[in-house]
Amino acid sequence: MCGLSGIYRWDGKAIPREQLKRMTDTLHHRGPDDEGFFTTVEPQVNVGLGFRRLSIIDLSGGHQPMTTAEGRCHIVFNGEIYNFQELRSDLEKRGRRFLTRSDTEVILHLYELYGPDCVAHLRGMFAFAIWDSKNKSIFLARDRIGKKPLYYAIQGRSIIFASEIKAIHACGEVEKRIRMESVPLYLTYQFIPDPRTIFENIFRLPPAHTLLLDATGNAHISQYWTLHRTPKHEMSLPDLERETVAQLREATKIRLISDVPLGAFLSGGIDSSAVVGWMAEAMKEPVKTFSIGFEEDDFSELQYARLVAERFKTDHHEFIVKPNTVDILPKLAWHYDQPFADPSALPSYYVAQETRKHVTVALNGDGGDEAFGGYLRYQADRIFMAFAKAPRPLRKSLAWAVAQFPAEMQSSRIVRRILRAGSAMGAEPLEFNFRLFSYFDQDSLMDLADGPLLDRAGGENVYNYFSALYGDTDSEDLMDRILSCDAEGYLPGCLLVKMDIASMANSLEARSPFLDHKVMEFAAKIRSRDKVRMTGGKWILKRALKGFLPDVILNRRKMGFGVPLAKWFKGPLAGFLEETILSPRASQRGYFKMGKVRNMVEEHKQGRRDHGYKLWALLMFELWHRSAMDGN
Q: Which amino acid is at 577?
A: L
Between CA 30 and CA 503 the distance in angstroms is 9
Beta strands in 322-442 (DSSP E): 361-363
The 10 Å Cβ neighbour count of residue 580 is 21
Task: Report the SS3 class of residue 549.
Answer: strand
Q: What is the distance between the alpha carbons of residues 203 and 5, in angstroms, rounded to a whole number?
A: 14
Beta strands, E only, 444-551: 509-511
Report the interhelical angle of 478-485 vs 376-387 (nearest 10°): 150
CA dihedral 149, 155, 157, 159 (to 10 degrees): -10
DSSP track, 56-72: -SSTTT--SSEE-TT--
CA 242 to centroid of chain Cα atoms? 29
| Amino acid making up residue 528 | S
Contact 104, 64 (CB under 8 A): yes
Question: Please, are residues 348 and 365 in contact by the beta-carbon 8 Å criterion?
Answer: no
Q: Which helix (H) or strand (E) element contains residue 221? A: strand 219-223
d(CA 72, CA 587): 55
* Catalytic choice (2, 171, 485, 494): 2
Catalytic residue list contains 2: yes
CA–CA separation, 417 and 411 (whole Å) = 11
Beta pairing partners, 220: 212
Whether 376 and 417 have beta carbons less than 8 Å apart is answered as yes
C-alpha atoms less than 13 angstroms from C-alpha of 112 in its C-beta half-sphere: 21
Query: Residue 328: which of 25, 627, 628, 24 has the closest Cα?
Result: 627
**Separation CA 347–CA 559 (nearest Å):** 14
Residue of 380, 481, 392 whose CA lies nearest to 432: 380
Buried/exposed code over 547-572 (b: 16+ C-beta within 10 A; e: otherwise): ebbbeebbebeebebbbbbbbbbbee
Q: What is the dihedral of CA 627, 628, 631, 632, to 10 degrees?
A: 0
Q: Cβ(50)–Cβ(171) under 8 Å?
A: no
Assess contact for 552 and 307: CB atoms under 8 A. yes
Residue from 491, 37, 199, 209 nearest 500 by CA: 491
What DSSP string describes 30-58? G-BSEEEEEE---SS-EEEEEEEE---SS
Strands of 262-265's sheet in order across: 315-321, 288-294, 262-265, 361-363, 509-511
| Residues in the chain, total | 632
Per residue, the 3-state secondary structure of 577-611, as one string, reads HHHHHCCHHHHHHCCECHHHHHHHHHHHHCCCCCC
DSSP structure class, residue 142: E
Q: Which positions are annotated as active-site residues?
A: 2
